[in-house]
Amino acid sequence: MEYIASSISQAMALGNLSYIGLILFFALLLRASIGFGDGLLAVPLLAMFIDIREAVPLILCLSTTISVNALWKDRRSLQLSSLKRTSVAALAGIPFGVMLLNLGNEAVIKGLLGVLLVAMAIWRLGPKSKLQLKSNGWSYLFGGLAGMLGSAYALRGVVFSIYGGLRGWSQEQFKGTISGFYILSGVLIPISYFSSGLITPRLIGLYLLFLPLALFSTVLGHLLTHRLDADMFQKVIWIFLFLFGTFLAGRSLLL
């Protein structure tokens, strides 16, 4: 109990806690509503207030926690075979992502994140492709990428959403399977974070401090799921992320 109290005290000593809470609320609301996007929205914004090495593990751990309810809700639509293959491949990608996150130059990390955001936004906002992946072998490629980008930038949901779209999954199949992947990778990635010294007492304090907020945003997000125009909402988010990615990449070049 003394360790927990000390961790929360360190977290509360941070400035801008209200801004951090606001970012986490909207990011996890997005996650609960459309199935992904929390890392995309949270990491670039949180990096303005805390070190990116804290921002990524924080949103990843909170997102993993709320995925348990989402998985139970959509468990009948879970694509178990795809989940097994992508999770196995993620094991190979996670160490590379942790190494990337552990780079000493934060400007380089933010610059790479900006480039990734711009590239993904262009892909998502461009003309819709009719390409569909029939071979199960693609699971390993996308699983490895999700493991690497998930552990480095909390972008596992984006990679998985691209994969699910190319496989032609329904919304229920996608949400059930991605929740399973979030839980499995959410156990594996923090183990790598611990071994790399990225899990600190202050990070644990931030997690505990914002966990009730994460649970509330999840409940609200589930209520909004059937009332949102998901396509329009995603388009607005991707336009914002394109602009923010351009800002991050440009700023890193000027530093």
Average pLDDT over residues 20-40: 84
Q: Nearest-CA neighbor of 56 among 161, 250, 239, 193?
A: 193
Q: Which of 248, 230, 239, 250 is nearest to 122 (CA)?
A: 239
Mean pLDDT of 217-227: 77
Check residue 154 and report its DSSP letter: S
User: Higher model confidence: residue 105 or residue 177?
Assistant: 177
Percentage of the chain exceeding pLDDT 70: 87
Parent domain of 113 = 2-254
Q: What is the CA radius of gyration of the chain?
A: 17
- Give Cβ neighbours of residue 85 (< 8 Å, ≥ 6 apart): 136, 139, 140, 143
The whole-angstrom separation of Cα 134 and Cα 105 is 40
Q: Say whether pTM exceeds 0.85.
A: no
State the Cα–Cα distance between residues 77 and 169, nearest whole angstrom.
10
Average pLDDT (169-184) is 75
Mean pLDDT of the chain: 80
According to the model, what pLDDT value does residue 52 have? Answer: 85
pLDDT of residue 253 exceeding 60, the answer is: yes
Highest mean predicted confidence (pLDDT) among 57-66, 80-89, 185-194, 209-218: 209-218
Q: How many domains does the chain have?
A: 1
